[in-house]
Structure 1
């Protein structure tokens, strides 16, 4: 996001020079101009997202970083799968649609990206980087049933969820089955952040005693959220669009259920179409194939050459690595080292 800062800094300098009450209108005009210029330079925003950006330009950096955090976590969790989020990361921007069919992989991609934005905005609030939010003080001073007291700077997860919902969901305007699926998974990602919040405490008292304990809610490492969503991915629910005479708008219901028109839970990930095998490149389904992917010849898991290469076989590459080792200092004044070497093999899918 260095390009964004390039347009923000000149306006910050101008604002610093306009500190008189007589320049309030000038300040407002400069702020509006800077926000409009900033948001017009961000690629991939819809008209509604651009309006949100203009109203809260200090949040756009957090939103971008949150989207990238989601992409990195997706790549980490699926590093041993045939689909490894490579197409998701290959996009030109972080705000565009993920080019995937409505599979369970798309469900995870949207959920983890939405979770990343929620996470980043909430963290930025606690650090004071966004002017319209801060810490969650609603419980400050209250006592829990266990006797400890709410204090510190609790993560304002409700603001993070609200802001992420407003911004991320603004892209889903089509109103079709895929938009309903995306909106559901976006919400599931935001709920995952709230679900995985942890409580941190600090003891107070003489000589380290814990006569009084204050606690607050804080964000966990984002990889915890990624693992939580991966479990949801493994149990993702197939859905179809249901149109009822009683309701004007369609909604999603579970495909395989004995109960009529039963809806999926809000925490579930849902998908519309069966996943392809991701063995061969097919951009229409969001598959880059597995040709050239590194594999583990001895593994029987998803990263094993048999599974990852889809039965096509693999190439073996031999490398010799050399480095200085067993170094010893002699007085005075030189260092003598031996040369060590190691023969290694690398395997890539045909």
Structure 2
């Protein structure tokens, strides 16, 4: 269990940063505090992470924002499933115990939070909020094969990915199967940000003509990255840890084809997911008792699937509101009271 807890700690750190409102206010006034003092207040970080923080203390705000984005997007994408990314108060991890089990849900969690950090650091660079980076000017002034010119403020995704890799991956040093799984999924999350970059353009010319066009790379809405990673979650690959020939180090190989390694863009997992029907702290399952369900749906939010065959309770609700309001001269408003009877369903 000690080893498993170790792999949850990077996300304990992110949660600690997110929930520390005093700390975030301190980060916002980093120039007044001093980097060393600021970074000493961040709980649970390793010496290497502390050095990264000292070199770019203003980036800690972006890490917090990225973790928030990742959590919110995870909850949005899985809100209608048995596993819905519910946060559980625990000393173990951001997502309760789910990151302790090497499941495809853990794979998605690590990938999305890593993507969130890379995304927010990149966005903060473009906004000028991090002193050590800015826009990506490597292509500025060049022309594309289509004739338009690179310009504007392109997202410096290279810096964002590099920073996120150094900071988020810093704790995965044990070299065991779970560490390899986490590192692989972290990288897949960051690759998803780069893959989903968009090209935006602006036309130049008299009277609105487009005699010349300037284009730049920009970040998409984070929800598009979430949808991309959900597809990767649905097609995640089961892997096993294999020992390198004549070496003690390990590498990941596909469970059914041990002579092949997973692609860098794939999400990978080591253990089969629980069904999440019943509460089980050992696997990170919160169960679906009292979860809302849709009686008319045949999808994952339907009462049959959500309630795991246990049945559901029906609740009657009365919604009242002011309606058909009329203004009378002079001077008062008269309204009727409308009401609607509705039903809700929760799992037994």
Q: TM-score, normalised by structure 1?
A: 0.89
What is the CA-CA distance between 1:306 and the residue it aligns to?
Answer: 0.5
Q: Distance in 1 between matches of 2:199 and 2:106?
A: 31
Q: Give 2:71's aligned residue.
A: 71
Could you say what secondary structure the match of 1:295 adopts? coil
Could you say what secondary structure the match of 2:333 adopts? strand
CA gap 1:97/1:203 in 2 versus in 1, 3 angstroms: farther
What is the CA-CA distance between 1:332 and the residue it aligns to?
Answer: 1.3
Q: Distance in 1 between matches of 2:226 and 2:123?
A: 17
* Residue pair 1:322, 1:339 contacting (<8 A) in 2 also: yes
Deviation per CA, 1:282-313: give whole Å up to 9, x if none: 11111111111110011110000100000111
Map 1:133-148; keep pairs closer than 5 Å: 133-148=133-148
Q: Distance in 2 between matches of 1:143 and 1:228?
A: 30
Matched, 1:348 2:339: no
What is the CA-CA distance between 1:55 and the residue it aligns to?
Answer: 2.1
* Residue pair 2:97, 2:284 contacting (<8 A) in 1 also: no
* Residue pair 2:30, 2:38 contacting (<8 A) in 1 also: no
Q: Give 2:120's aligned residue.
A: 120
Q: Give 2:26's aligned residue.
A: 7
Q: Give 1:339's aligned residue.
A: 337
Q: Distance in 2 between matches of 1:178 and 1:300?
A: 35
* Residue pair 1:45, 1:96 contacting (<8 A) in 2 also: no
Which is worse superposed, 280-289 or 132-141? 280-289
Matched, 1:291 2:289: yes
Which is worse superposed, 216-225 or 316-325? 316-325
What is the CA-CA distance between 1:5 and the residue it aligns to?
Answer: 4.1
Long gaps (5+) in structure 2: 1-19
RMSD in angstroms over aligned alpha carbons? Answer: 1.9
Q: Give 1:275's aligned residue.
A: 273
What is the CA-CA distance between 1:345 and the residue it aligns to?
Answer: 1.2
Could you say what secondary structure the match of 1:294 adopts? coil
Q: TM-score, normalised by structure 2?
A: 0.90
Deviation per CA, 1:146-188: give whole Å up to 9, x if none: 1100000000000000000000001212211001000000000
Could you say what secondary structure the match of 1:99 adopts? helix
Long gaps (5+) in structure 1: 14-30
Q: Give 1:322's aligned residue.
A: 320
Which is worse superposed, 146-155 or 321-330? 321-330
* Residue pair 1:201, 1:213 contacting (<8 A) in 2 also: yes
Q: Distance in 1 between matches of 2:218 and 2:94?
A: 26
What is the CA-CA distance between 1:95 and the residue it aligns to?
Answer: 11
Paired residues in the alignment total 328
